[in-house]
Structure 1
Amino acid sequence: MLKENKIYLASKSPRRRELLHQAGIEFDLLLLRDAAPRGPDVTEIVLPGEAPEAYVNRVTQEKADKAWEIMHLRKMLPRPVLAADTTVVLGKQILGKPADKQEAIQMLSMLAGQTHQVLTSIAVHSALGSAAVTQCSEVSFAKLDEQQILAYCNSNEPYDKAGGYGIQGAAARFISHIKGSYSGIMGLPLFETCQLLRQAGIFIP
Structure 2
Amino acid sequence: MYQIVLASSSPRRKELLERIGVTFTIDPSTSEEIITDTDPAKVVLSLSKQKALDVAKRYDNALIIGADTIVSKEEQILGKPKDREDAFRMLKLLEGDTHQAYTGVTVINKQGQEYKEYSFYSSSDVSFYPMTDKEIYSYIDSKEPMDKAGAYGIQGKSAVFIKEIKGDYNTIVGLPVAMLYQTLLSEGIDLLHD
TM normalised by structure 2 equals 0.91
Q: Counterparts in 2 of 1:115-126, with a 5 A limit?
A: 115-126=98-109
| Contact 2:29/2:52, CA 8 A, preserved across alignment | no
In the TM superposition, what is the alpha-carbon distance from 1:7 to its structure 2 partner? 0.5
SS of match in other structure, 1:17: helix
What is the CA deviation profile of residues 168-201 of structure 1, one whole-angstrom value per residue up to 9, with x for unaligned ones?
0000000000000011110001111112343363
| Aligned residue among 162, 178, 192 for 1:191 | 178
1:169 maps onto 2:156 in alignment: yes
Report sequence identity in percent: 37
> How many angstroms apart in 2 are the aligned matches of 1:23 and 1:7?
14
Q: Deviations over 1:26-70 (max 9, x none)?
A: 10011222xxxxxxx1314x33x5311111111111111111112
Report the secondary structure of 2:57's partner residue. helix
What is the aligned counterpart of 1:70 among 58, 74, 92?
Answer: 58
The answer for the alignment partner of 1:154 in structure 2 is 141
Which residue in the other structure is 1:97 paired with?
Answer: 80
The correspondence of residues 113-152 of structure 1 with structure 2, limited to 5 A, is 113-127=96-110, 129-152=116-139
Q: Are 1:87 and 1:162, in contact at CA under 8 Å, matched by a contact in 2? A: yes
Picking from 179, 182, 187, the partner of 2:169 is 182
Answer yes or no: is the 8 Å Cα contact 1:126–1:200 preserved in 2.
no
Q: Is the 8 A contact 1:80 1:200 kept in 2?
A: no
Structure 1: tracts of 5 or more residues without a match: 34-40, 73-77
Show the counterpart of 1:28: 25
Cα deviation for residue 79 of structure 1 reads 1.4
Taking the aligned partners of 1:178 and 1:109, their CA distance within structure 2 comes to 18
Superposed CA RMSD:
1.5
Which runs of at least 4 in structure 1 moved beyond 4 Å after TM superposition? Answer: none
Are the aligned partners of 2:127 and 2:162 in contact in 1 as well (CA < 8 Å)?
A: yes
> Residue 203 of structure 1: CA displacement?
4.2
1:59 to 2:56 alignment: no
Shift of 1:167: 0.5
Q: How many equivalent residue pairs? A: 188
What is the one-letter code of the residue matched to 2:117? S
Which is strand-richer, 1 or 2? 2
Give yes or no for the alignment of 1:112 onto 2:95: yes
Unmatched runs of 5 consecutive residues or more in structure 2: none
1:81 aligns with 2:64: yes
The answer to whether the 8 A contact 1:68-1:125 is kept is yes
Cα distance in structure 1, aligned partners of 2:150 and 2:124: 14
With 189-198 and 15-24 compared, the bigger mean Cα shift is at 189-198
CA–CA distance in structure 1, aligned partners of residues 9 and 177 of structure 2 = 17
Q: Which residue of 1 aligns with 2:32?
A: 42
Q: Any idea what SS the aligned residue of 2:58 has?
A: helix
